[in-house]
Amino acid sequence: MAQEDGFKKIVSHCKEYGFVFPSSEVYDGLGAVYDYGPHGVELKNNIKKYWWESMTLLHENVVGIDSAIFMHPAIWKASGHVDAFNDPLIDNKDSKKRYRADILVEEYLAKTDEKIEKEIEKAAKRFGNAFDETQFRATNPRVLEQQAKRDVTHARFTKALNESNLEELRQIIMDAEIVCPVSGTRNWTEVRQFNLMFSTEMGSTADGATKIYLRPETAQGIFVNFLNVQKTGRMKIPFGIAQIGKAFRNEIVARQFIFRMREFEQMEMQFFVRPGEEMEWFTQWKTTRLAWHKAMGLGDAKYRYHDHDKLAHYANAATDIEFEMPFGFKEIEGIHSRTDFDLRQHEKYSGKKMQYFDPEVGQSYTPYVIETSIGVDRVFLSLISGSYAEESLENGETRVVLKLPAALAPVKLAILPLVKKDGLPEKAEEIMDMLRFDLRCQYDEKDSIGKRYRRQDAIGTPYCITIDHETLNDNQVTIRFRDTMEQERVPIGKLHGIIAEKVSLKNLLKKINS
Ligand code: GAP
């Protein structure tokens, strides 16, 4: 399946099965804003629960908060967002399409890497066992030429970003002969900075309304509550504060479905440490966070780290965890060493001390911060795209199945009476009443059993149970397993124990620590 077709199928699957709908669809939608449907919201809630428990249950020194979206506007001045939360944008004069200049260059670099890899793959096939990749990279003229061009562009790009040199950024695009994917031309405008924050007004205009911002990250709500949490929770450094909540960014390039949205949800954790110890914690959180992703079982090879070429204004180290989306490896989480920048800035702008007295060293200091910041919607997309499969069955039919981790699946168990008569629906309802208190069950009696299995496969339900005539005599049901499609007969009395164990979040949480 071509990558693009594969992605289109995922987007339409999300709509057809009640995961994600375009926002305001009856009014033709609203750019890069999406609504989550009945199955989508369950999956999203499960992702959030998995993250929250992994932070606050597995770490006794991490506690949560839920701060407001509206915050004092001085916060965004202090954090640097008013002056520096910009993306460089460029327009193509022929297609009138707008792009992020940095992304155009990053895509060019990724394409060059792909070309080099293809040359290597071809040669490896040609030479078989005798192939020496290091020697090939060092001597093949085509690879050398591509690599040299790539290295020069990469070095110029990093420098231009670090110096916010917009003219140079444009020149790189011209020199690399990057064309607009729509018009195919190189008729580019200048590169301009564009602030990503949405603003609104608080108070009525008559009494002088105040301009306030919709938060572009949840992190600042944590920073300004640092001392409240530390004091009321009697927290000792090192400790973390976790938060899940909406964030808003007026993204210039808002394509790729829920990957880049204007309203999205973040799960952020700020971990406060002694100055000088931040690199140790940075490394530790990088490992822990990658383990969290891998525990979901989508395949370890689908994840990789990507160190930042350009550090944000607040960071002294930063890495992304990338996931192989249908459109290539993309950032799903950022891990940043934010120094003491934010706390110091809030101290400066508010005039209030934001220091911590460390009883172990008998000193007050401004803590350093390691941040882990992940988008719920991007994890959602990774789960859908990483678990989507089209399979041919023995009877010649095909099935679409979401092989979601059982603990995160929207519906855990489907309860299916074989026929709509002979007391089977009543028995099924009885079982449902027994299980519904802690397992999300779905009852379905419509259509053939095969069709009902297909519907459950499509939403990722890990277990289906069938109630047949024999059930009325032996009090046993058949469990059908989504991934293997195998079936097993079990006593009704044991059902709760079997399923609850299999779908428990504990299974994922234990894997992170193993
Ligand atoms: N507090 C740091 C911060 O916000 P970021 O790298 O800008 O860092 C963190 O964002 C995460 O938030 C990203 O890795 C991504 O998962 C998610 N995210 C950012 N912008 C997004 C958008 N427009 N749509 C969906 N998710 C987004």
- Nearest Cα to Cα of residue 298 among 393, 388, 375, 376: 388
Q: Are 307 and 402 in contact (CB under 8 A)?
A: no
Whether the pLDDT of residue 313 is over 80: the answer is no
**Closest CA relative to residue 49, chosen from 498, 506, 384:** 506
Instruction: Compute, in angstroms, the gap from residue 267 CA to the centroid of ligand 1.
Output: 9
The total number of residues shown for the chain amounts to 514
Domain boundaries, the chain: 1-85+197-392, 88-195, 401-513
Beta bridge partners of residue 328, listed in sequence order: 325
Q: What is the pLDDT of residue 2?
A: 60
Taking the C-alpha atoms of residue 504 and residue 506, their distance in angstroms, rounded to an integer, is: 5
* Superfamily of structural domain 1-85+197-392: Bira Bifunctional Protein; Domain 2 (3.30.930.10)
Average pLDDT over residues 72-90: 94
CA dihedral 271, 226, 49, 496 (to 10 degrees): 100
| Beta strand ranges found along 295-428 (DSSP E) | 303-307, 317-325, 328-337, 356-358, 363-365, 368-375, 388-392, 398-402, 413-417
**From the candidate CATH numbers 3.40.80.10, 3.30.40.230, 1.10.540.10, 2.60.40.1930, the one assigned to the domain spanning 88-195:** 3.30.40.230
Over the stretch 203-235, which tens digit does the pLDDT of each residue have? 876 667 799 999 999 999 999 999 999 999 999
Ligand 1 touching residue 217 (CB < 6 A): yes
What's 63-76 look like in SS3?
EECCCCCECCCHHH
Q: In angstroms, rounded to a whole number, what is the distance separating the alpha carbons of residues 172 and 204?
A: 47
- Ligand 1 atom showing the smallest separation from residue 218 Cα: 1
The model's pLDDT over 275-308, given as tens digits with 9 standing for 90+, comes to 999 999 999 999 999 999 999 999 999 999 999 8
Q: Is the CB of 413 under 6 A from ligand 1?
A: no
Asked if omega into 238 is within 30° of 0 (cis), the reply is yes
Least Cα distance to 369 among 441, 258, 285 occurs for: 285
The CATH number that domain 401-513 falls under is: 3.40.50.800
The protein residue whose alpha carbon is closest to atom 4 in ligand 1 is: 217
The answer to whether 503 touches 460, Cβ cutoff 8 Å, is no
Instruction: Please write the tens of the pLDDT for every residue from 103-143.
Output: 999 999 999 999 999 999 999 999 998 899 999 999 999 99
* pLDDT tier for residue 311 given thresholds of 50, 70 and 90: confident
* Residue type for position 63: V
Ligand 1 within 6 A of CB of 445: no
CB contact at 8 A, 82 and 76: yes
- Predicted confidence at residue 395, as pLDDT, reads 87
This prediction has a pTM of 0.90
222, 243, 264, 322: residue to mutate for ligand 1 pocket, most atoms within 8 A of CB: 264
251 lines ligand 1 (CB under 6 A): yes
Q: Which of 198, 319, 378, 381 to mutate to test the pocket of ligand 1 (most atoms within 8 A of CB)?
A: 378
